[in-house]
Structure 1
Amino acid sequence: MPDLPDFQPLFQTRVLAQRGGVRSEAGEWGGQAVFVKTLLSDDPAAAQRFEHEGEIAAALDHPGVVPLLARRPAQLIFPWLEGQTLRERVEAGPLSAAEALEVADGLLAAVAHLHARGVTHHDLKPENVLLEGGQARSGSVRLIDFGMSHSRALALDIHGGTRMGTPHFMAPEQFRGVRGDPRSDLYSVGVLLFDCLAGHPPYADALGWLTGLTDERAPLPGPPELHGVLCAALSRDPAGRPASAQALRSALREAARALGLELERACP
């Protein structure tokens, strides 16, 4: 991964957001449209978190993951992708079973790559899934944001023991501080599939579910052929979930065949 060369400045930058000591911008760099994250804080802990994110992003190489183009201690540069987030797509209305399965399939292809590289994402949510071109297709899914991720390749897990995550989409064991279990990502994929089909996540009282105070779940959405896979992915016990991203992907593809659907052939 190249460092950011001084002779390739950013042009035509436009601030998109600024929070947590990090500014997000759109701009032009090296002759292409880019998305840039810049660390503004001089807090050593913030710098460590930013470096952690860059290290993990640099180790990934899959069509379903937005690649890191270049970095330096206070800046990360990614290609700009035209399209929309899965959040924006779902807010327009629930997806059809075919569209939801396509999105989940593409997402699982990317997640399988992460897990093969020893990375657990730990923040799979609609805002972190891009649909390039706005298409709900397997080959259009692009995964972003590794700020909360765990990597077995890094000696220090700076988030170790924390409850970081998004309550509606995080696994119960992650809420208890368990890090680095790939099955936590599979739970989140199950929630995303549920969200795509229903237009909302399964547990209205997410914190009640995570703490074990309630098991009240919204009715399973979509055709009955998907319900068994959804229930398995959403198991409170990680041992009750599919053993791997590939196993969950295979189960979803089998359900698609039972529905007479032919999913796009996404990258392995």
Structure 2
Amino acid sequence: MQEFQITQPLTNRSPLAEQPGVYSESAEWDGQPVFVKTLAADDPDSQARFQHEGRVAASLHHPLVVSPLAITPTQLIFPFVTGGTLRERLERSPLGEEEATEVASGVLSAVAYLHARGVTHHDLKPENVMLLDGEPRWNNVRLIDFGMSHSQALPLDIHSGTRMGTPHFMAPEQFLGVRGDPRSDLYSVGVLLFDCLAGHPPYEDALGWLAGIRDRRAELPGPEPLHPLMRSALSRDRAQRPLSAAEMQQHLCSARLELGLPPLPVPAAPAALVTAHPVTADLIMEPPA
């Protein structure tokens, strides 16, 4: 990753989206296709949030996480991932259990790495999962967008005490302002798996569920071997969720075996690592067994 103090020149620019204070575009930079976020606001809060996202993303180096190629005071330049988002894929149709569990496994591999680095994503949803070439396979997952994340390595959490997140995918404690708990991400992965199988998230009245005044959940989708995992991950009580992303991934792999699906090339047990996830770059390149 390169850091520059001056704005980088871009060519073949094409606008993609605009949010308050930030706009996104595809372009070419340094001879390669890129995705660029540009800070358009000049107020201190917007600048702090933009710099926060850049610092967190730049600290991550994993094959299933999209990290910036370059950062300037007003630009975050990322490699362009062809294929679209998981949400775009789900708009065509829900996924079968084999593809859905592959995608969830890829997300959990990335999330386990984040958590080992002291980072909680806090906005896991199909819109923030890219699928390389549009194929819903575990090693095509590319996790993006760290604008709402929490990092233990940063001295100040600029989102402290906020309810930032996407209601259908955020954990109840996150809605109450709890930050930095990895189990919040595991809840979101449970919702994501549910959405992959059903084509919609579990709670129609997401805000009512988060506030504790609604408990009605849609029927669990997919085959029964996946239900205990989803039921656990979607628990309002954090203590009832899996203890870690690695444990959740083990349960997912066990469910796949029960369904007669081929095993994925992920570790059967968590490795004793502190700063890296046991799925290595070499292993990521291996096709599923």
Partner SS for 2:225: helix
1:96-123: CA deviations, max 9, x gaps? 0000000000000000010011000000
Residue ranges of structure 1 left out of the alignment (5+ in a row): none
**1:106 is matched with which residue?**
106
**1:160 is matched with which residue?**
160
TM-score (norm 2): 0.91
Q: In the alignment, is the contact (CA less than 8 A) between 2:124 and 2:185 conserved in 1? A: yes
Deviation at 1:19, TM superposition (A): 1.6
**1:235 is matched with which residue?**
235
- The 5 A counterparts of 1:1-268 are 1-4=1-4, 9-265=9-265, 267=279
1:189-232: CA deviations, max 9, x gaps? 00000000000000001011111111100001000000000100
Partner SS for 2:134: coil
TM-score (norm 1): 0.97
Partner SS for 2:147: coil
- Between the two proteins, the alignment pairs up a number of residues equal to 268
Q: Which residue identity is paired with 2:250?
A: S
Structure 1 distance, partners of 2:7, 2:88, is 36
Q: In the alignment, is the contact (CA less than 8 A) between 1:138 and 1:265 conserved in 2? A: no
Structure 1 distance, partners of 2:123, 2:263, is 25
Q: Which residue identity is paired with 1:136?
A: P
Partner SS for 1:51: helix
Q: Which residue identity is paired with 1:243?
A: L
Structure 1 distance, partners of 2:18, 2:200, is 27
Q: In the alignment, is the contact (CA less than 8 A) between 2:7 and 2:72 conserved in 1? A: no
Deviation at 1:11, TM superposition (A): 1.0
Deviation at 1:261, TM superposition (A): 0.6
Structure 1 distance, partners of 2:225, 2:7, is 56
Q: In the alignment, is the contact (CA less than 8 A) between 2:41 and 2:47 conserved in 1? A: yes
- Closer, same or farther: CA 6–159 of 1 in aligned 2, 3 Å: closer
- Closer, same or farther: CA 20–263 of 1 in aligned 2, 3 Å: farther
Q: In the alignment, is the contact (CA less than 8 A) between 2:195 and 2:201 conserved in 1? A: yes
Q: In the alignment, is the contact (CA less than 8 A) between 1:53 and 1:149 conserved in 2? A: yes
CA RMSD of aligned residues (A): 1.2
